[in-house]
């Protein structure tokens, strides 16, 4: 079947089998490998993407179910060379170690900050509670999100955070 959706701001239309999961569509069909695939049980949260601005575990969504929706992956956070404040915060506060959970954590944090620009520690921990990080102990992740909240324009001379659609993830996805 043929499906169309907005992916990181660009319209994509591809043929896909009806049983293909969104995580596999993103990785295998579109070639966007920032979205990780972890547990096969929807417990780990490494596959989180934003669908219409809300975090979803892409291993629980069929690609066909995402047709007509706006999907944002970690590749869609930066605005060209300007990092999203969440990405900058993870760098500044050492919010990652192995990096496997990081894309999903960043997208969840972006959705939280879009809803609540000044969350407290408990709200951040609640937002990321559906994701497992085996390396950091979460303290640095919480600090990273708080950094992003305090620096909504990042550190790049006020150019601001990326807006969805500012930078399509790959040449392939622009089409």
What would the two tokens of residue 134 be? Answer: 């085996």
- Predicted pLDDT at 171: 41
* 3 state DSSP class of 152: coil
The pTM for the full model equals 0.86
For the chain, the structural domain boundaries read: 2-76, 85-150
Cβ 50 vs Cβ 120: under 8 Å: no
Query: Class of 2-76 per CATH?
Result: alpha beta
Give the N- to C-terminal CA distance of the chain in Å, as an integer. Answer: 18
Which positions of the chain have pLDDT values less than 50? Answer: 157-175
- Predicted pLDDT at 156: 56
- Predicted pLDDT at 154: 76
Q: Residues 10-50: pLDDT tens digits?
A: 999 999 999 999 999 999 999 999 999 988 788 898 999 99
d(CA 10, CA 26): 13
Fold category of 85-150 in CATH: DNA polymerase; domain 1 (1.10.150)
d(CA 165, CA 175): 13
Task: Dihedral sign for Cα 91, 96, 99, 104, please.
Answer: negative
- Predicted pLDDT at 155: 67
Among 67, 74, 64, residue whose Cα is nearest residue 21: 64
């Amino acid at each position: 079947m043929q499906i169309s959706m907005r992916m990181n701001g660009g319209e994509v239309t591809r043929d896909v089998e009806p049983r293909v999961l969104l995580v596999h569509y993103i990785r295998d069909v579109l070639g966007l490998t920032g979205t990780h695939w972890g547990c096969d049980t929807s417990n780990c949260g490494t596959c989180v993407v934003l669908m219409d601005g809300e975090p979803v575990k892409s291993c629980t969504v069929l690609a066909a179910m995402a047709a007509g929706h706006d999907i944002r992956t970690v590749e869609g956070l930066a605005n060209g060379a300007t990092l999203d404040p969440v990405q900058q915060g993870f760098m500044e506060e050492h919010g990652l170690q192995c990096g496997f959970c990081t894309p999903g954590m960043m997208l969840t944090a972006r959705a939280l900050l879009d809803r609540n620009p000044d969350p407290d520690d408990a709200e951040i921990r609640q937002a990321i509670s559906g994701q497992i990080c085996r390396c950091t102990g979460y303290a640095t992740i919480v600090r990273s999100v708080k950094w992003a909240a305090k620096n909504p324009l990042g550190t790049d001379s006020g150019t601001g955070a990326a807006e969805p659609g500012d930078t399509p993830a790959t040449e392939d996805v622009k089409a």
